[in-house]
Structure 1
Amino acid sequence: PAARRPKPSASAPAPAADRKRKRGAVFKTATLKNQIRSTERLLRKDLPHDMRVAQEKKLEELKRQQEKQTQEAMQRTIQLRDRKIKFFERRKIERMIRRLDKQQRLNADEASNKLATLREDLEYVRFFPKKEKYFPLFTGGNTPDVVEKRNTWRKQIKENLIAAAANGKDLEETASDDDTLDVSEDDFFMSGSSSDEEADDELTDKSTK
């Protein structure tokens, strides 16, 4: 009778294909930083020309991915910070608009001018491009350079709104009106007047000057 092949024991080494798949899985989970270091170490060795060229291309691609990850992480941090600032400013401006709506009966012309300014401020906050550096209205200072940049963005935002309306589209809002947004631990939101009414009066004066 033909001899039976012995079954591989549990302790027998895994086939080469299995080992290759496992190495591939480990490689995929390795961080880009570790992959870059590993490739750089390999390039310090005496490699055949074709292998060196391939590894250099690989290193270039890994560094490109690392740079992209770094930029995306920084962008997320900036966007989160700007989101909190714009949330604060939007709520303040909307509250001031409501107060001026009530005051309009007493002095229609003055209140109308202030309301127009506040609505422009609200437009600035709501539609400021989220990928650009935001210039806060109430905490960013009023140096000529900052004021000029704000005015430039005001003009651009108006043009964006007009273009979107002409195409029958709504421009994306970038300022959150989410009551669940946690701003309690941010220094920016811990400063200010002791009451909303005092803060509104102070900010109304600043915004409408």
Structure 2
Amino acid sequence: MPLASPDKIVIEKSPAYFHNKDVPARIKQLNPKMKIILVVRDPVIRAISDYTQTLSKRKYKVLHPSFEKMALNWSNADATSTSIVNSHWGAIKVGIYHKHLKRWLQHFPPDQIHIVDGEKLITSPAAEVNQVEKFLGLKPVVKPEDFAIDPHKHFPCVRAKGELHCLGATKGRKHPKVQVKVLQKLADFFEPHNLEFFKMINRKFYWSPERNVSLIH
């Protein structure tokens, strides 16, 4: 972590921290009063986004397996069951939020962990940022007019000093169109895990197969 004066707040982020088994204990050792911000979204969409990001780094994209082939165990005879989902694939494992959060709660109390609704961060960014400001002990200053929607990527852009700052080329990529039956199998697989997560944080996010389909077209 960089050096900072008492009147400064240092924020460091990485998508790998949440599911890495060793990180919670190491962060607690660094600073047991550390405040943790966790951004979650529909795990089905998160898996598709993960796949899209990985695919973008491949030189020969046509040789890379489709999302459907990665997400499901097609050799599984019981194709009507959620057991056909490839739960060993990293893109799926990361979305089982309650298993990862359980490790964090072994090292940090709930009041030091703030959960951000990733879907609302897109549709109502100011409201979600205001909650983060309060969590960090800051006076909320961010307003809805500080954001605008990118007409191409449909993600929020930040308005600062009269200029819009939008996501770079490596963010907000268009997702591949995924078969509806595969989306449904994934939604069915994640449903009990989502409920366990909601129970753990005493909140509920409204994730559904219908929303999954609408987001990938």
TM-score range, shorter chain: under 0.3
Flag the structure with more relative contact order, 1 or 2, with Cα contacts below 8 A and sequence separation at least 6: 2
> Between Structure 1 and Structure 2, which shows a larger proportion of strand residues?
2
TM-score in terms of structure 2 length: 0.21
- Name which one, 1 or 2, has greater alpha-carbon Rg: 1
